[in-house]
Structure 1
Amino acid sequence: MFEDDDDFIDPKTLPIYQKGKEIFDTVKQICDLIPEDNEELAFTQSIMLDDAMMLTVKVAGATGAGLYDIKMENAAIIRKAARDLMVQNHTLEMFGFKEVHYFQVVRELIEEYRLLFIDWVASFDPWDYAIDRWGLFNPPGVGPFDKDPDDDIPMD
């Protein structure tokens, strides 16, 4: 399958994936402290775990994708999840979570993740792309109304 492919990269070997896993494990430990009888905190717990999970799931998805626009789409989802997770301490505090001080560890880990994220996105190959006709995730210099160079390739 993919393991035989020379271009295959196991996402689990990437520093950004490993840091995302560390963040998830930390968030999970904090979530385990949330009392089960608090409906608001239980809902917040679910959101936090979903956001933390995105930090590895979408890295794996982007690593398996070759195209620049798909990688960038996954990167945008990761960014949103990390930013949402970064401010969840306010929600926890608002709903009376007594151990909110532990969340500072998550914020520090997310800052480390952010620095890895910058390098990871910079490693995307901008020449491996299909034109994003929505115009959000094209490589620099490519627009949604550009002519697709593949249209000039004869099909016979």
Structure 2
Amino acid sequence: MSELDQTYNLPIYQKAEQIFKLTEGLVHIVPADNEFLQETTVRFMMENAMIIPVKIAGAEAGDLYDLRMENAAIIRKAARELYVQAGSLRFEEDIKDKDYILLLRETIDEFRELFIDWVAGFDVWNYIKDSWGLFNPPGVNARDKDPDEDIPFNPNDFFGTEDDDDDDL
């Protein structure tokens, strides 16, 4: 099974796809003639619903703790915004079938539980220090010395070039 197939089969990814499909269904019952809702809430809901599975795939593709946590923060933000945006539609009189709203919000709650377990499974020992301090594993401070700085690295050796003249770039 390919890595992409493994990602698609993750319970959190499956739930994210479910959220996307429910969001698609929900935005179809928003009246097309309500330009305000179409240009704001509907657009933002679809953006958030699309971000979630994409960022899960991105986090799974890169195994570094700091990058996975950065994706997780974006996923959390998108899911929370989608939850609120869907909830705001409850107060729109033009929307008759409000069952979609409740169903989507319940699905986001289920997603949150999967999300907690997914994030807990990130490997805290596989990271590059985040000098901004946001996505470091527990116990790593932004002002700590970066252990990678002790590793001698010559880009010319790495890229196999002998030309030290970078003026041509």
User: Normalised by the size of structure 2, how large is the TM-score?
Assistant: 0.82
Deviations 1:79-112 (A, max 9, x none): 0111111111343244433333420001110111
Deviations 1:41-100 (A, max 9, x none): 102111111111122011001001121111001000110111111111343244433333
For the 8 Å contact 1:40–1:95, the answer to whether it is kept is: no
Q: Which residue of structure 2 aligns with residue 119 of structure 1?
A: 117
Q: State the secondary structure of the residue aligned to 1:154.
A: coil
For the 8 Å contact 2:51–2:78, the answer to whether it is kept is: yes
- Structure 2: gaps of 5 or more residues: 155-169
For the 8 Å contact 2:25–2:100, the answer to whether it is kept is: no
Q: Distance in 1 between matches of 2:103 and 2:91?
A: 19
Q: Distance in 2 between matches of 1:152 and 1:89?
A: 50
Q: Distance in 2 between matches of 1:153 and 1:47?
A: 45
Which of 61, 64, 76 is matched with 1:64 structurally? Answer: 61
Root-mean-square deviation over aligned CA pairs? 1.6
- Structure 1: gaps of 5 or more residues: none
Rg: which structure is higher?
Answer: 2
Q: Distance in 2 between matches of 1:110 and 1:124?
A: 21
Q: State the secondary structure of the residue aligned to 1:127.
A: coil
Deviations 1:124-144 (A, max 9, x none): 111111110111000000011
For the 8 Å contact 2:87–2:101, the answer to whether it is kept is: no
Q: Distance in 2 between matches of 1:106 and 1:127?
A: 35
Q: Distance in 2 between matches of 1:37 and 1:75?
A: 36
For the 8 Å contact 2:59–2:72, the answer to whether it is kept is: yes
Count, aligned residues: 150
Pairwise CA distance, 1:146: 0.9
1:15 aligned to 2:15?
no
Q: State the secondary structure of the residue aligned to 1:87.
A: helix
Pairwise CA distance, 1:118: 0.5
For the 8 Å contact 1:89–1:100, the answer to whether it is kept is: no
Q: Distance in 2 between matches of 1:112 and 1:91?
A: 20
User: Normalised by the size of structure 1, how large is the TM-score?
Assistant: 0.89
Poorly superposed stretches of 4+, deviation over 6 Å: none
Q: Which residue of structure 2 aligns with residue 151 of structure 1?
A: 149
Deviates more, 1:70-79 or 1:99-108: 99-108
